[in-house]
Amino acid sequence: MPASSASPPYDRSFDARVGEAVDVATGVVRVTAPNASAYTFTGTNSFIVGKSDLAVVDPGPDDEKHLHALLKTIGGRTVVAVILTHTHRDHSGLARKLIAETGAPLWSNGPHRLSRPLKPFEFNPFGRAGDFTLSPDRHLSDGDRIEIDGKNFRVVATPGHCANHLAFAAEGQDFVLMGDHVMGWNSTVVATPDGNLGDYLASLEKVIALPQSRYLPGHGGEIVDGRAYARALKAHRLMRNGQLLEVVRRGPTTLSAATRAVYPGLSGKFAMAGKQTLLSHAEYLAQREEIELGRSLLGIRLLPRL
């Protein structure tokens, strides 16, 4: 989402070096895909872990140039797994082709799934963004340990951006492969029903508690002090809750009108993302019984709690 005056200290100075193999940690190489956009920043970061036996974390979008760049970096070495932080297609779209090229199994938290079922009259505008048919050979769950070429990772379930999101904390090293849960260039989209704000805030607390503090995100550059940055992201979301509460306490309003008040000046796809993100905030506040939320064929209304 576009920055506000109360935004965390976003860093957009990242030099992606698209298509190149860039060393980012001991035994970890980043290759950024050529899919820059308003939502993906400079492109999706794929990470190749290991020196002899490898794993590819987030193969990225279905793009032939990116497939060639990954295979060039792999250089004929054995790929023991293709691993997903989540199943949004900008991270998982290339998985099937890379698996066909390498013979590697797929490890993930399962096919794409919504954070909650669709409500009556509800349409998911991000329905095509996730792959609901991509099933793993190995299902990864919170607390699992995985080993790649002698390097051990703890699997950390981080739902919020979407329901099956994972991060991977390197044991004995100070970094986490963070996917889209925490990104330094912007705050991640938490768009209901794909995402869930309550889950996202709880997942922020989970990664803040990790011993590792250096975050390697799915878009943009590394975040050196990840804990401080994650705390700033949490404060930012709580500030948005306060803004929405202030709007609703002035009287009943529609979700669209509230979005214009909280995110002034948004248009096009940004307006859609803002509306779905604000719905996540509204549902969170309704669950906490701080506002009322009503649905009908005419849309969503937000009402003060009596």
Asked if residue 60 has pLDDT above 50, the reply is yes
Domains of the chain (ranges, CATH numbers):
22-236 (3.60.15.10), 238-304 (1.10.10.10)
Distance CA 170, CA 22 (A): 18
Give me the chain's average pLDDT, please.
95
The predicted-structure confidence for 86-107, as pLDDT tens digits, reads as follows 999 999 999 999 999 999 999 9
Q: What is the percentage of the chain residues whose pLDDT exceeds 90? A: 88
Q: With contact defined as beta carbons under 8 Å apart, do 52 and 149 qualify?
A: yes
Distance CA 264, CA 245 (A): 16
Confidence of residue 273 (pLDDT cuts 50, 70, 90): confident
Round to whole Å and give the CA distance between 138 and 156: 15
- Closest by alpha carbon to 163, among 72, 85, 93? 85
Q: Summarize pLDDT for 214-251 with one digit per residue, the tens.
A: 999 999 999 999 999 999 999 999 999 999 999 999 99
pLDDT at 244: 97
pLDDT in tens, 170-194: 999 999 999 999 999 999 999 999 9
